[in-house]
Structures are given as C-alpha cells and as structure tokens.
Amino acid sequence: MKNTFNPWEVKGDIDYTKLVRDFGVSELKTLPDLFNKEILFRRKIVFAHRDLQRILDSIKNKKKFVMMTGLMPTGKFHLGHAVVAKQFLIYQKLGAKIYIAVADIEAYNARGQSLEESRKIALEEYITNYIALGLSPKNVEIYFQSDRSKDAKKSNAYYSLQNILARHGTFSEFKAVYGDINPGKMISSLLQASDMLHPQLPEFENFCPVVVPVGIDQDPHLRLARDLSKRIPIKFTQLSSTYHLMLPGLKGAKSKMSSSDPNSFIALTDNKKQVKNKINKYAFSGGQDTLEKHKKLGGNPDIDVSFQYLRMLLEEDDNKLKEIENSYRSGKLTTGELKKYTIDKLNTFLEKHQKEREKAKKKIKDFVHK
C-alpha cells in the first residue's frame, strides 16, 4: 500500500519522529500537574505543540482563552474521535471557552458529501457522543461551516475573515504547504484558518490566546493560518496548537483508525458482540504465533493494538498498565488474555457510554444554534 499523509488523507504507517522534524513542531516536555492528571498528557499521547506556553500562562493567570477545533463529519464516531473529545473536556475544566466547527464545507470539498448528510452525521454521531462523554453546554459554541450564526454580524465577520486571508495568500505558498492542491481544498484551508482565528475578532471573544488540539496531519493548516495571520491587517495573538498521536486502527499500531475502513475502527455505538469479534479477529497482535514461542520469547506491547488502546484510552491506572506491559513482554500474559482484558474494558466503557448517549439525544438543542 502506498503511504499518504496530508490533512485530507492518511494511509499506511506513520513516522512521528520524521513528522516532528519535517513540520518543525516542538516536543511536549514537562507540563503542570493539572495536565498530568490526564493520561493523554501524562503518557504523551498529546506529544507535540506550537506555542503552548501562552495557554499555560493564561491558565496560571486565570486569563480568558479559547480552545478551538473542528471535525469533518464523515462516517461513524469511533475511538479515535474520543481522543480529541477528551481534550475538549480537559480544556473545558481548565476554564476555556470551547469552539467546535463542524466542517461540512470541507466534507463537501474533500469528500463530496452533501451538507444535509453532514448535518445529520454531525448531530447523531459527533455531537451526541461529545455530550455523552461529558461536554457541558456552558461556554461551548458548536457551529457549521456553512451556517456560522443566525446573527448576521457574526456570520459576516467569519466569512469576511476567510476572504481577507485569501487576499493575502499566494499560490506558491499553498503549493509549498500542501503539495497537491485544488480550488476546493484551498477554500477549505482558508475557511479552516478562519475557524481557528475568528474567535479573536471583536464580534466573538476579542483578542485572546486560542489553542487548537489536532492530529498532526492537520499541522499544514496551522502553518498556513499562522503565516497568513501575521500578514493581514487585523491583529491576532499567534495560534497555539497541540498534536496527538493518531489512535491506531485495528490492523496495526502505526496505522490510523479511520471511519472509511470498517475493519479498522470500533464505533462508540458498537455492541458487545461486535467489539468482541473485532478485537479477536482483527486487532493486530504483538504476540508470537504459537503459545509455546510466546511463553519463551514474550510479546511486544509496542506494536500490539489492544495494548495501545489500553495505554491511550482505556486503562487509567498506571500500575495496572505497567503490570500488563511487563507480563506481556515476559510471555506470561498471552495474546488471548490481553484481548479478553481489552474487550472487557471496552465493553464496560461502551455500556455506560451508550446509556449516556440516550440521555444526550435530548440535550442536542442546548448545544447547537443558541
């Protein structure tokens, strides 16, 4: 399979060390305790950043800041999406105002999906799951790229910003950042730049720090927005961003969980049987091919997808995780046992989550178009 890595398509193995170097992002070093309470930060699942210090300062000095990110509403909401959603909750707790863009224009330009379909998927899949995971309606703005606001002043400001940004970009700059680019994708990039920058306009929150948590595939959009924002006649606080590892797909620890490949993901609506079947049948194992060899040589948790799900999402207890890791490496814990533990953890989480989803359905109106 050919490897592809750009903001619209990720296929094949991901080499994070190379990406950090090529993109020029900084590795995330020591963070305040507030962050380290969360496994995503403590375990370096969020592993790199640009200008995060500005956000840390805002938190310390109790100054206003915004967390802004977006989603392309295609297909099922899966475990990979939960990695991003958990960061909304963390920043919400830290006092951020939360902005979430439903990238329906981008889904149309990059995937040919209609605005109606995007709206339906965004409401039934993404937003319902965010609420079920614990997002509170306080200080949250969720909007559609095609329908920014019922308030014309706000809408005009958001779309005008996209045009002002376009006026100051050059074609060679787009080619340098994206390589392969077409007018539809260009428009999406500029709209995403407006997504990230518009919270600082006077019609919204005014000049203030904004942190954008994304998968590292989205960094080209940040580079473009950061560069353009320095050249336009409106003054912005430079954008901050953080980058998380992509949750692996079932097929391999270096791949990406993707809703376009049904055998790669576990959806938050999957039932117990589906989860059991997917993990047992598809989850790539770091174990040896025979039990005898496994007992002798041990397994490799680094490439074991079940172990990675425990590390990145499911096992909060560091001691327990370490114990599983050591026992698997030594060959004492078998692949079958590791998979069973993962299936049980997943199904416990999903059972609770699916109950929350039912309650969440009634709350959607509190989140969209206030």
Binding site for ligand TRP (CB under 6 A): 7, 68-72, 101, 103, 106, 192, 195-196, 212, 214, 218
Give the C-alpha separation, 179 to 196, whole Å: 22
CB of 60 to ligand TRP, least distance (A): 24
- Closest distance of CB 204 from ligand TRP, Å: 14
Q: How far is the C-alpha of 35 from the C-alpha of 149, rounded, in Å?
A: 33
Nearer to ligand TRP, 193 or 321 (CB): 193
Work out how close the CB of 304 gets to ligand TRP at its nearest, in angstroms, rounded to a whole number: 27
> Least distance from C-beta 79 to ligand TRP, angstroms?
16
Which CB sits closer to ligand TRP, 73 or 286? 73
Number of C-beta neighbours around residue 146 at 10 A = 15
Q: Which helix (H) or strand (E) segment is 290 a member of? A: none
Q: For the beta carbon of residue 286, count every other beta carbon within 10 angstroms.
A: 21
- What is residue 312's three-state secondary structure? helix
H or E element in which residue 317 lies = none
> Least distance (Å) from ligand TRP to the CB of residue 347?
28
User: For residues 144 and 122, is the Cβ–Cβ distance under 8 A?
Assistant: yes
Q: Identify which of residues 227 and 344 has a Cβ nearer to ligand TRP in the complex.
A: 227
- In the complex with ligand TRP, the residue whose CB is nearer, 70 or 286, is 70
Q: Which two tokens stand for residue 162?
A: 């996209």
Closer to ligand TRP by Cβ: residue 200 or 285: 200
Count other Cβ atoms within 10 Å, centred on residue 219.
23
Q: Which residue is nearest to ligand TRP (CB)?
A: 70
Comparison of 258 and 288: residue with beta carbon closer to ligand TRP? 258
Q: How far is the CB of 36 from ligand TRP (least distance, A)?
A: 24
Q: What is the DSSP letter of 367?
A: T
b/e burial code for range 184-198 (CB count within 10 A of at least 16 → b): ebbbbbbbbbbbbbb
- Choose between 213 and 287: whose C-beta lies nearer to ligand TRP: 213
User: How far from 208 is each of 81, 97, 286, CA to CA, in Å?
Assistant: 27, 11, 46
Instruction: Let me know the angle formed at the C-alpha of 223 by 215 and 234, rounded to the nearest 5 degrees.
Output: 125
Q: Quote the least distance from Cβ 8 to ligand TRP, whole Å.
A: 7
The residue among 59 and 210 lying less far from ligand TRP, judged by its C-beta, is 210
* C-alpha span between 50 and 305 (Å, rounded): 29
State the minimum distance, in angstroms, from the CB of residue 145 to ligand TRP.
7
The smaller minimum CB distance to ligand TRP, of residues 69 and 149, is found at 69
Task: Give SS3 for 44.
Answer: coil
Rounded CA separation 339/343 (Å) = 6
Smallest distance, ligand TRP to C-beta of residue 191, A: 7
Phi, psi torsion values for 234, nearest 5 degrees:
-105, 140
Give residue 9's region: left, alpha or beta (phi > 0; psi -120 to 50). Answer: beta
